[in-house]
Amino acid sequence: MAESLSSEHTYPGFESSEQESDSESDFDPRDIDKGSDPIDEGDNELSSTPSTSKLPLGPLAVKILKILAVIQGNGLTVAHFLDALSWGDRDCTRDATVRAARRGLCTSPLLPGIIRRWHKPPRSPNSRKGRPEAARSVMEHFALECSREIFERELEGLADIFESPFGDDISEAELTSLSFPQTVKLVKSKAPNLWELLFRLARTEGQQTRNPNKNPSNIVLIVLAMFSYTRTHHRGRLQKLFAVYFKFRGLSAEGFDTLHLIYERCDVGTVVAKIQKE
């Protein structure tokens, strides 16, 4: 059975899941076998009605129908089966056979393609129907939930980079020791997913094509510094650096209020006075 469902099988009407298609359809008509049915766009749960296709089913579809019949014969749906296989209860969790099957599914190279088709099912290019909803809304909600967890963890991992020395007694060496290129490299290594997201949002593909030298890295760095500071005022190293810089450049008190810089004017003035005495 394992061999019959291996990656060596071709799935009539489905294009390879290794890459996304740029067209509206994920369906490649060249992949259709002459003896196979077009893709059924009515994704219903198990039905007791036998197949009404006039064309003979391929060997893979026959095996799937037999498995579905066994699942239904045991009073389960496909959803119940997958739920039980996925750490459904104590027995399903500890049984060696179930555990091996679960591990095989979770580590299978087929899994990414399965998930992609659940999110965006393939369809015939000549179809006048809309693409089936499948699990799109559920998967997008889950993807957002996972992304939040990843971004939260990575943002907290940047705390030591943006942490500002305590007190107003900040030396010139401390303020000028920050290197933007080195900080960018460090932030990218500690928060790769968060950096990739913001970097892509900061530059469109068209901009990248027209001006490949356009690099929003410093902008992304400042955005992450702002995010980190909103969590605690102790992570204001970049903000303090800019505040002192603008003070030296003669920014007025009203200018500070307009920019909403995070340090009060008296704090910045103390730092500037200290540096001027050095």
So what's the pLDDT on residue 267? 58
d(CA 13, CA 31): 6
For the ranges 125-129, 224-228, 244-248, 259-263, the maximum mean pLDDT occurs at 224-228
Return the structure tokens found at 216: 């929003």
Candidates 70, 72, 99; CA nearest to 84 is: 99
d(CA 189, CA 195): 9
What are 21-45's pLDDT values in tens digits? 333 444 443 333 433 334 444 554 4
Number of other CB atoms surrounding residue 160 within 10 Å: 9
d(CA 135, CA 139): 6
The whole domain housing 270 covers 140-277
Q: Supply φ then ψ for residue 112, to 5 degrees.
A: -60, -40
d(CA 255, CA 236): 19
Total number of domains constituting the chain:
2
Same domain, 49 and 154: no
- DSSP track, 141-176: HHHHHHHHHHHHHHHHTTHHHHPPPSSS---HHHHH
Overall size of the chain counted in residues: 278
Answer whether residue 82 is part of any domain: yes
Mean pLDDT in residue range 135-157? 94
Please, what is the angle between helix 217-231 and helix 136-156, to 10°?
80
Number of other CB atoms surrounding residue 178 within 10 Å: 12
Identify the burial level of 271 via C-beta atoms within 10 angstroms of its C-beta, where 0-12 means exposed, 13-18 middle and 19 or more buried.
buried
What is this structure's pTM? 0.64
So what's the pLDDT on residue 72? 95
Least confident of 57-66, 230-239, 263-272: 263-272
Show which of 81, 116, 133 is a domain's final residue. 133
Answer whether residue 11 is part of any domain: no
Asked if residue 52 has pLDDT above 60, the reply is no
Identify the burial level of 136 via C-beta atoms within 10 angstroms of its C-beta, where 0-12 means exposed, 13-18 middle and 19 or more buried.
middle
Asked if residue 190 has pLDDT above 80, the reply is yes
Tell me the average pLDDT of the chain.
76
Asked if residue 18 has pLDDT above 80, the reply is no
Show which of 98, 133, 168 is a domain's final residue. 133
Confidence band, pLDDT 50/70/90 cuts, at residue 110: very high
Answer whether residue 17 is part of any domain: no
Answer whether residue 241 is part of any domain: yes
Same domain, 150 and 198: yes
Answer whether residue 24 is part of any domain: no
Same domain, 127 and 149: no
d(CA 198, CA 195): 5
Number of other CB atoms surrounding residue 67 within 10 Å: 14
Asked if residue 263 has pLDDT above 70, the reply is no
Name the residue with tokens 């591990």. Answer: 103
Show which of 76, 106, 133 is a domain's final residue. 133
Asked if residue 120 has pLDDT above 60, the reply is yes
Same domain, 144 and 113: no
Same domain, 156 and 223: yes
d(CA 139, CA 118): 8
Same domain, 129 and 150: no
Assess contact for 154 and 56: CB atoms under 8 A. no
d(CA 148, CA 29): 39
Mean pLDDT in residue range 54-72? 92
Assess contact for 92 and 85: CB atoms under 8 A. yes
Answer with the residue of higher pLDDT: 258 or 94.
94
Mean pLDDT in residue range 170-199? 86
